[in-house]
Amino acid sequence: MIRPEDAQFHRPTSDDPLWSETNYFGLYAGQDTDRPMNIGVYGLFREPLGVLGSTVSINSRRVTMPWAADYWDAWQHLVVPQPSDLLDYSLANGLRVRCTQPNMVWDVDFSDAAAGLELHFRYTALMAPYDINDPAQDPMAAGRDLDLTWGHAYAGHFDQTGHYEGEIELRGVRTPIDCVSTMDHSWGVRAERQTSRLSWLHAHFSRDLVVHGLFDFSTAGGPDAPSALTMTHGYVLEKGQVFGLTGGGGTTDRTGFYPERVALSVVDSADRAWELTGTALTTFPWQSQPGVVGHNSLLRWEMDGRTGYGEAMDFVGLGELGEVYHRLHQAEVVARA
């Protein structure tokens, strides 16, 4: 069960210096226009080391290089402000985050005058935090395998859907922010080398209907092959009530590991089946930390005549990516011989 105090830093349960806490705010603007804008604001705090990494990304394009996006800013060695306070912090990169109601309301501001960027929004939760490690809340938590939930980095983790409202101005163009999307908070040991995969995705149809899920997948078929999704956690938010997912899966069609089309069929704790399909509007290679690539797509989702939006974030470690592309190169060499 997630409590109000879980919005704050946690006492490490390990002496591993890579103990970390994260906050991720993923949102979008202009989703009903010809320039849908995917926005990500992230902090990865390694408090035992006194440093943190922070990234801010804004992308309305199909890119495979982060610098080809509308905006990309990444810092890896910001100093954790002292006294450390995850409810109220300001960073040297221009990010200010205040949690005025723990696990319910966050105000986020980011300024980069040199790039002509002003980003300001309030996130207001539409549900209680969803604890993927609590069997009383998550039907998949009992007997879980941490290796299928992104390892011990997710030893403490919640996902939560809420309403984002604010404004972004980038290079003289102002766009209002008014969307339903999902944030998360994690705490645990986050290794530099990522050895498992994670597809973290969601579809937001309204304040009253959301499907969110975490999945594992295989890279064996290569970067352009469809891959089956194995569900590890998730929920349906319907009219303020949360139903944990109990089963199901799906398939992701890919180009260079970026999700192009995602088909899901999942079952919730009320024994209802939900079938939905998402199509990519954008692509972006988000590196939350140097050792992993999140193949990010903003998707337009369809379900029973409803249209929604949300991210698919498919994380693969650099070591595994290297092996995949090595096999691909070797196969091309053999084919040319």
pLDDT digits (tens, 9 = 90+) for 182-230: 999 999 999 999 888 999 999 999 999 999 999 999 999 999 999 999 9
Average pLDDT over residues 97-117: 98
How confident is residue 145, by pLDDT bands cut at 50, 70 and 90? low
Beta strands 209-216 and 227-238: pairing type?
Answer: antiparallel
Question: What is the distance between the terminal CA atoms of the chain, rounded to a whole angstrom?
Answer: 59
Judge contact between 256 and 263, C-beta under 8 A: no
Least Cα distance to 185 among 18, 24, 313, 3 occurs for 24
What domains are there in the chain, each with its CATH number?
4-336 (2.40.370.10)
80 DSSP 8-state letter: P
Number of neighbouring beta carbons within 10 Å of residue 107: 16
Summarised one tens digit per residue, pLDDT across range 246-258 is: 999 999 999 999 9
117-125 and 258-268 strand pairing: unpaired
pLDDT at 337 over 90: no
- The pLDDT value recorded for residue 147 is 55
| Confidence category of residue 314, pLDDT binned at 50, 70, 90 | very high
Q: Can you tell me the distance from the alpha carbon of 239 to that of 244, in angstroms, rounded to the nearest whole number?
A: 14
Q: What is the mean pLDDT of residues 164-173?
A: 98
Task: Spell out the alpha helix ranges (H) of the chain.
Answer: 318-336
Residue 148's pLDDT band, with cuts at 50, 70 and 90, is low
Whole-Å CA distances, 224 to 220, 252, 297, 299: 10, 10, 15, 18
Q: What is the mean pLDDT of residues 72-76?
A: 97
Please report where in the chains the tokens 């398939």 appear, as a residue: 251
CA atoms within 13 A on the CB side of 130: 30
Confidence check: pLDDT of 283 > 70: yes
| pLDDT at 146 > cutoff 90 | no
Mean pLDDT (the chain) is: 95
Sequence-ordered alpha helix ranges (H) in 233-304 = none
Residue 143 has pLDDT above 90, yes or no: no
Nearest CA to 28 out of 310, 333, 332, 321 is that of 310
What confidence category does residue 152 fall into, taking pLDDT thresholds of 50, 70 and 90?
confident
When pLDDT is cut at 50, 70 and 90, the band that residue 149 belongs to is: low
- DSSP characters for 157-202? EEEEEEEEEEEEEETTEEEEEEEEEEEEEEEEE--SS--S-EEEEE
**Stretch 50-55: mean pLDDT, rounded?**
98
288 HSE (CA, 13 A, CB side): 30
Give 129's DSSP letter.
-
Residue 150 — pLDDT band, cuts 50, 70, 90? Answer: low
pLDDT at 291 over 70: yes
pTM here is 0.95
